[in-house]
Amino acid sequence: MSENFRSIETKFLDKTNRISFKYNGKKYYGYKGDTLASALLSNGVHLIGRSFKYHRPRGIMTCGSEEPNAIVQIGGNGSFTEPNVRATEQEIYEGLEASSQNCWPSVEFDIGGINNLISPVIPAGFYYKTFMWPKKLWYSLYEPAIRLSAGLGKSPTQPDPELYDHNHLHCDVLIVGGGISGIIAASISADNGNNTVLIDDKNSLGGSTIYQNDENFKINDEISSTWLDKKIKELKKKQNLTIKHRTSVAAFHGYNYLLARESLADHKSLDERLNKLRQRLWKIRAKKVILATGAIERPLIFNNNDRPGVMLANSVKKYIDFFGVKCGNKNIIFTNNDSAYETAISLNKKGIEVVVIDIRKNSSSTLVQTTKDAGIKIYWNHAIVNTSGYRRIKSIQIMEMSEDGTNVVGKKTSLLCDSLSISGGWTPMVHLFTQSGGKLKFRDADQVFLPNTVISDQISIGSCNGDFELDDVIKNTISECKNFLSASVIDYDLLKVSCPKQKESKNIWLLPNNKPLGKTKPFLDFQNDSTAKDIKLAMREGFKSIEHVKRYTTTGMGTDQGKLANMHALGIISETAGVKMGSLGTTTFRPPYTPLTFGTIVGRNVGTFFDITRKTPMHDWHKDHKAQFENVGQWKRAWYYPKDGENMYQAVQRESKAARESAGILDASTLGKIDIKGTDASEFLNRVYTNAWSKLGISKCRYGLMLNEDGMVYDDGVTTRLGENHYLMTTTTGGAANVLSKLEDYLQTEWPELDVWLTSVTDHFATASICGPNSKNILKKLFPNLDFNDENFPHMSFKNAEMDGINCRIMRISFTGEHSYEINIESKYGKSLWEKCMDAGKEFNITPYGTETMHLLRAEKGFIIVGQDTDGTMTPIDLQMDWIVSKKKYDFIGKRSLYRSDTMREDRKQLVGLLTDNPKEILEEGAQIVKNEKKQPIEMLGHVTSSYFSPNLNKSIALAVVKNGKKLKGQKLLVPMKDKTINVTVSDFIFFDSKNERLNA
């Protein structure tokens, strides 16, 4: 049985709820409320992982989100696995499995540790300087080796069994951080009638004050933690206030838009979590934001400052005062400021051995006096020059500092220890402030960056605003909040606060050593193994800006994003270059504040909900009849209807023969439909289409081609004149939304004088298109009262009709070249319409056909599909559709662009037909076309845009765009494939019924 390091009573854990968990395969126990770090420390476990580059053993350094070392894989190998989880934040749950990362075969003995031995040869940026010769080894050896050593934890390999959610939140005041200043702010805000939200990333409020038992800190004559505890209880009863625990603000964007991750299940056992919400992303718009995000302690930078057992002093205090865990039996505290003395006092009170090493010469703080009174040994004006202990710190060596503090002098003294607490002062957490666009200022006195100007409605309070002493925190929080919230109700005006004041401070970014820097390893970025040496090397090599140094040395690029390292990197740069730190600026603080799970960012929008699926009213019928579907934009369109084991080719051959021989039916509901009304509707169409519209008779239909302003074909479709001032435009399926937007744009911004109103009616109507020689017979059955005589109901005309008392619109239009009708009916009757058509057509072998057959049939007729036969570089002239481009009209969208030097070129790529010399051979769509494949470079003349085997012609046909194609008719060209070359002849692009006789057949 290992020693129990939890010897101290604490009210913050539920001692009745003992929890077992596994770490590296071994079973341990902790209590409900423990983090993995506190639970491991209570079992005497310090060694957690191996560092990225040198594979040095590393332990727990902190108690929060700034942790660089203690990151583990949790959830075993199953679907719950998660890499790079901070042990300092992960709460334990029954059955939790955690393991060390970046080590093999084990964290105790890691082969990668060899990197530490060759570390002299691999300084920062070494990889830029080597692995270049011989070149071929880069691919076969060097790069694979670099890649192999990449990464820390392991990616999951199974889909995520948990769910995520999004929620929007609007509030008057958002307070980020539930420490003492956040609690006071929340209380003031709520008391003044603001709809207030308080967000805190821990499972309980109170920050570091809630476990502050030091009698030097008093509020209204009570110990500060006691006072705060009462305030939190009061807070929970307040109106207008929502408190969110385990919620971490990830990003603070402009316009007070914040993202916060609420963890709902990460602290629960796996069997409680299956198919439940794991995390929720709150998308917050706050009228006002109060940042009370606190400060984190800085480490000290000295030789071998990275061993397991080296921890931040204030974290050691939290482990003992909050979690009741001692981090060692022989504690040494190494500091440059007074706050670490609180840790010394705490440890001493619990009877734990502690000595203090202080780089300062003295301090008159009451904390120091209390420490002295307790009989704790203090080594003033000393610095640590080395440490020992491979898997856990065993001892340190200290030396006296020289008079000016730039060197160490005298004899080395060795001190034994199993825990070293370090404190280099405090860094305000200004991440969110700067993310929002705020600029920082530098305070020389204690070398901190603080919020300066802001561009949105927000303030920072407490230690993130540079107030480190309790009385300042409280006084300034109250006054700032009163001012910011124009608050009148204040309970706090008469608070009496007493606390120790920091008197002497001394900041040395890189502590002096008796050895040359080159022989030491003073770590800054513990995860990425960058040292003060690396910073200096980078500067020597000309990397002067902080961004360059960061990138060259990888400082601050680990999973902690440099929360501990960045200030020291800046400090060392400023000391080395002899420039003021304030003038250096910082690296950019980028969201998220702590790493944010992809699943949380995506929320419910996964799987079925990835994108909406648009289905026609007849969708279920198609599905019941075994249709295969094609995605067209967001629509599902029936692609083909295989029968009795047919493949697509066979089905399409059958469908297209049936359509030409008797009758076929297509679901055309997905085509975009825009209802156009107004006295200027005709003029509007004149301007948006290339052809003329004024003379289109009522009840007549016309095909239109729409260009972009650059002259290239944009969309096409048939428009019907329903009345004097009323048209129905159809668009391509994929283009519908864009066409409407574009038309609205012109209407509202360029031609506001036009009386035209556009309404999208795509979803309002279902469309069944019946084609083939028997189409008329079927229509007659469906609409027995309607006159289908070709003279009264000719091609390109429209009639209103009724089916069982339901209004229908029938357009006699054709995309197949066959005699053909499109029946439009209100969507809810779409399926009935379809079924009636099928019934009526039964005797004519009416055959449902999908988009593939539709494509084939129209290709036989040489009708283009915008987006397939055009690609944004084709003009109507290129498509040999000169007939549709009005020469008379003064203007239409894109007209001017047709008269530029390049668009007028005679030898542009033009639409042609292609016939393969072997009529059985089908060209591949996308295949390139050449004249000569021997001459290098091969000149590509164009490509195959559409290609099919036509059962009606019994040969392969293709549409293509070919350079100067208009003039190449009859010429032989080549289609070079990977393994063969196909001989083709340029033909007319109308392959079938070029006289349009079948339209009236």
Sites for other proteins among residues 305-334 (CB under 8 A): none
Q: By CB under 8 A, which span of 28-36, 152-160, 565-573, 951-959 interacts with other proteins?
A: 152-160
Query: Smallest distance, Å, CB 22 to other proteins?
Result: 19
Quote the least distance from Cβ 933 to other proteins, whole Å: 8
Q: Does residue number 763 form part of the binding site for other proteins (CB under 8 A)?
A: no
State phi, psi for 307 to the nearest 5 degrees: -75, 150
What would the DSSP string read from start to end of 262-274? Answer: EESSTTS-GGGTT
Interface segment toward other proteins; rule CB under 8 A; list 303-311, 392-400, 571-579, 609-617: 609-617
Q: Applying CB under 8 A, which of residues 501, 548, 700, 795 lies at the interface with other proteins?
A: 548
Q: Which is nearer to other proteins, 120 or 645 (CB)?
A: 120
For 584, which DSSP code?
Answer: H
Window 658-677: residues binding other proteins (CB under 8 A):
none
Query: Which residue's CB is nearer to other proteins, number 30 or number 894?
Result: 894
Q: Which stretch binds other proteins (CB under 8 A): 214-222, 332-340, 368-376, 625-633?
A: 625-633
Smallest distance from other proteins to CB 235, Å? 30
Interacting residue with other proteins among 8, 32, 112, 154 (CB under 8 A): 154
Closer residue to other proteins (CB): 410 or 872: 872
Q: Is 35 in the site for other proteins (CB under 8 A)?
A: no
Give the span between the Cα atoms of 87 and 62, in whole angstroms: 10
Backbone angles phi, psi at 950, to 5 degrees: -90, 115
Choose one: 356-364, 553-561, 672-680, 800-808; the region binding other proteins (CB under 8 A): 553-561
Q: Is 631 in the site for other proteins (CB under 8 A)?
A: yes
Q: Is 169 in the site for other proteins (CB under 8 A)?
A: no
- 305 burial class (0-12, 13-18, 19+ CB within 10 angstroms)? buried
**Residue selected from 317, 619, 943, 998 as contacting other proteins according to rule CB under 8 A:** 943
Residue type, 10: T
Among 804, 891, 907, 988, binds other proteins (CB under 8 A): 891
- DSSP for 99-139 reads E--S-SB-SSSBGGGHHHHTGGG--TTHHHHSS-SSHHHII
897 touches other proteins by CB under 8 A? yes
Among 47, 152, 885, 915, binds other proteins (CB under 8 A): 152
Asked whether position 112 contacts other proteins by CB under 8 A, the answer is no
User: Does 649 participate in binding other proteins (rule CB under 8 A)?
Assistant: no
Phi then psi dihedrals of residue 378, to 5 deg: -120, 125
Residues 963 to 982 in contact with other proteins, rule: CB under 8 A:
976-978
Stretch that binds other proteins, among 177-185, 472-480, 584-592, 690-698 (CB under 8 A): 584-592
> Contact with other proteins (CB under 8 A): which of 108, 491, 709, 787?
709
738 lies in the binding site for other proteins (CB under 8 A): no
- Measured from the CB atom, the residue of 421 and 875 that comes closer to other proteins is 875
Between helices 775-782 and 830-841, what is the axis angle to 10°? 120
Q: Note whether 601 binds other proteins by CB under 8 A.
A: yes
Rounded distance between C-alpha atoms, residue 387 and residue 406, angstroms: 20
Instruction: Decide if residue 882 touches other proteins (CB under 8 A).
Output: no
Among residues 10, 22, 160, 831, the one that binds other proteins under rule CB under 8 A: 160
Cβ closest to other proteins, residue 9 vs residue 890: 890
Cβ-based nearer residue to other proteins, 152 or 922 = 152
> At its nearest, how many Å lie between other proteins and the CB of residue 843?
34
Q: Which of 895, 931, 955, 967 binds other proteins (CB under 8 A)?
A: 895
What single string gives the DSSP state of each residue in 922-969?
PPPTT-EEES-SSSSSPPEEEEEEEEEEETTTTEEEEEEEEETGGG-T
Binding residue for other proteins, selected from 896, 917, 972, 988, defined by CB under 8 A: 896
Strands 277-291 and 163-176: parallel
Site for other proteins contains 111 (CB under 8 A): no
Among 78, 410, 518, 794, binds other proteins (CB under 8 A): 518
In the complex, what is the shortest distance from the CB of residue 38 to other proteins, in angstroms, rounded to a whole number? 22
Which region, judged by CB under 8 A, interacts with other proteins, from 496-504, 547-555, 574-582, 949-957? 547-555
Shortest Cβ 611–other proteins spacing (Å): 5
Which residue lies nearer to other proteins by CB, 80 or 334?
80
Nearest to 328 by CA among 41, 756, 130: 41
Rounded least distance, CB 541 to other proteins, Å: 5
- Report the site for other proteins in 397-426 (rule: CB under 8 A): none
Q: Which amino acid is at 394?
A: K
158 is a site residue for other proteins (CB under 8 A): yes
- Maximal C-alpha separation, the chain: 116
Q: Across the strands, what pairs with 843?
A: none
With respect to other proteins, which residue has the nearer C-beta, 316 or 565?
A: 565
517 binds other proteins (CB under 8 A): yes
Nearer to other proteins, 147 or 237 (CB): 147
Tokens of 191: 């008391």
Contacts (CB under 8 A) with other proteins, residues 66-105: 80-84
The interface with other proteins within residues 279-298 (CB under 8 A) comprises 283, 285
Site residue total, other proteins (CB under 8 A): 129
Measured in residues, the chain has a length of: 1001
From 330-338, 661-669, 705-713, 993-1001, give the range in contact with other proteins by CB under 8 A.
705-713
H-type helices in 648-774, by residue range? 648-661, 681-688, 736-745
| Contacts (CB under 8 A) with other proteins, residues 337-396 | none
What the block records as the tokens of 917 is: 């010399």
Q: Does 455 bind other proteins (CB under 8 A)?
A: yes
What string of DSSP letters covers 351-374?
A: T-EEEEEESSS----HHHHHHHHT
The alpha helices in 788-886, defined as continuous H runs, are 830-841, 851-860
Strands (E), 209-315: 218-219, 222-223, 241-244, 247-253, 257-263, 277-291, 295-297, 310-312
786 contacts 809 by C-beta, under 8 angstroms: no
Q: Which of 460, 465, 597, 847 contacts other proteins by CB under 8 A?
A: 597
Alpha carbon separation from 164 to 316, 430, 529, 727 (Å, rounded): 35, 28, 35, 46
When asked if residue 1000 is in the footprint of other proteins (CB under 8 A), the reply is no
Q: Which helix (H) or strand (E) holds 423?
A: strand 419-423
Closest C-alpha to 173, from 162, 156, 155, 188: 188
Q: What is the DSSP string of 480-533?
A: HHHHHHT----S-TT--EE----------SS---SS-GGG--BEEETTTTEEHH
Rounded to whole angstroms, how far apart are CA atoms 238 and 242? 9
Spell out a b/e string for 5-42, using b for 16 or more CB atoms within 10 Å of the CB, else e: bbebebebbeeeeebebebbeeebebbbbbbbbbbbbb
Q: Is 131 in the site for other proteins (CB under 8 A)?
A: yes
Instruction: Map the footprint of other proteins across residues 766-795, applying CB under 8 A.
Output: none
Among 591, 678, 773, 919, binds other proteins (CB under 8 A): 591
For position 453 contacting other proteins by CB under 8 A, the verdict is no
Asked whether position 133 contacts other proteins by CB under 8 A, the answer is: yes
The residues, ordered by sequence, that sit 6+ positions from 484 with a Cβ below 8 Å of its Cβ are 288, 290, 459
Q: How far is the CB of 515 from other proteins (least distance, A)?
A: 10
Based on the shown chain and the rule CB under 8 A, indicate whether residue 233 belongs to the binding site for other proteins. Answer: no
